[in-house]
Structures are given as C-alpha cells and as structure tokens.
Structure 1
C-alpha cells in the first residue's frame, strides 16, 4: 500500500484509461508519468472469497521506461534501483 500511495503522490500524471471488474478481480489500465518518464501499466487485484483484495500485481511497459521509472521511486521506497541488462552486457 505504501508503494502505491508513493506513486500517486509523485505522479505528474496518472490517468486510468479502462477498468474491468469481475467476481474474482479488478483490473485497471493506466498511463503513469513521474518526472519525464512515462509508462503504460496494468493493476490487477485478485479478490478472496470475501471480496477483499488478496493480491495485487502491477505491470509497467515498455521495459526500459519501467526500469527508469523504478529508479525515480527506489530511493523514496528504500529499494535498490533496477538495472536494465541486455544480451550485450
């Protein structure tokens, strides 16, 4: 929850484009910008038998922008920044 709140606080733009809901999940497609880095993403919330959130998975794309965006958040969340590695490295 802390990570999601931090993203919302630091976002220059967070636009939800579509939300899909079912009996066992909620999914939201969004565009997120922090500083000059932009990603498209999906939040997927899996619900338990009581309808409470049991698990949240978040995807960002494209990968180079996702790595850059995580770098903007890493120090705030106490994480190590990701490093993008390619076959040439």
Structure 2
C-alpha cells in the first residue's frame, strides 16, 4: 500500500493513523495476542518509530488495487539488525483492517521485544488518551 509506505517513510504517524480502520487488528511479532483498535495500534506504531533505527522499506509485494500487501523492511534495534515484513489487509473502504508484523532473526526479535517492553507504559497512556479523545 503506497500511502502507508509513504507515510511511514516520511515519519508522518498522523497520516499512518488516518489509514487505520477503527477496528484494525494488529499482530505483533513478539506478543501472541493481537491488539484491536486504532488507538492502541497507532500508539504501538509510534513506539516502534522510537525503537527502530535506520528503518527502510526494501520492497513492496502486491497489486496496487489489491486488498493484500506486504512491505519488506530492514531496521536496527540497538546492535541487532532486523529483517521484517509488514503484512497489510485492507477493508472494503481501503483502510487497513489487519496489520501483521514479522521479524527475523530470533536475536533481533528478542531485542525488539525488550525495547518495546520499555515502551509499554507510554503505549498504554497514549492509547488511553487517544481513545478518550475519540469518545468526545
């Protein structure tokens, strides 16, 4: 999905959030249970931007007008190099309904898990604040 890729590459997390369906399902590479909802998914993606260094998309897979897309990326967490893939599924209105992230190698996933665990309280606060704003 070109709009998602361009927003991520521009570090425009507000634009990324606008592309998410209200009931988006985010599947993390380091947590078994998926997260549901725009507020928590956006908060997680903001944390990922704080954690990843030297992030870049290398390749996109999928038809431009299709509902399924894969964006292959590389990044670094601390001294660990990571290869990964964002798998996106769009709903009928073109918003991201599902976002699944996969990473490798195991040492990179472990570094990512540790770094994201340090972000957990901030993610929860941001998601709660965003949820409160959307209820107004």
- TM-score, with length taken from structure 1: 0.77
Say which SS state the counterpart of residue 54 (structure 1) adopts: strand
1:18: which partner in 2? Answer: 59
Give, in whole Å, the separation in 1 of the partners of 2:98 and 2:105: 23
Say which SS state the counterpart of residue 16 (structure 1) adopts: strand
Deviation, structure 1 residue 10? 2.8
Q: Do 2:53 and 2:77's aligned partners in 1 also have CA atoms closer than 8 Å?
A: yes
- TM-score, with length taken from structure 2: 0.53
**Matched residue count:** 79
Q: Do 1:25 and 1:44's aligned partners in 2 also have CA atoms closer than 8 Å?
A: yes
1:87: which partner in 2? Answer: none
Which 5+ residue runs of structure 2 have no aligned equivalent? 1-41, 124-136
More strand by share: 1
2:46: which partner in 1? Answer: 5
1:1-89 superposed matches below 5 A: 1-22=42-63, 23-78=66-121
Which 5+ residue runs of structure 1 have no aligned equivalent? 80-89
Give, in whole Å, the separation in 2 of the partners of 1:65 and 1:34: 7
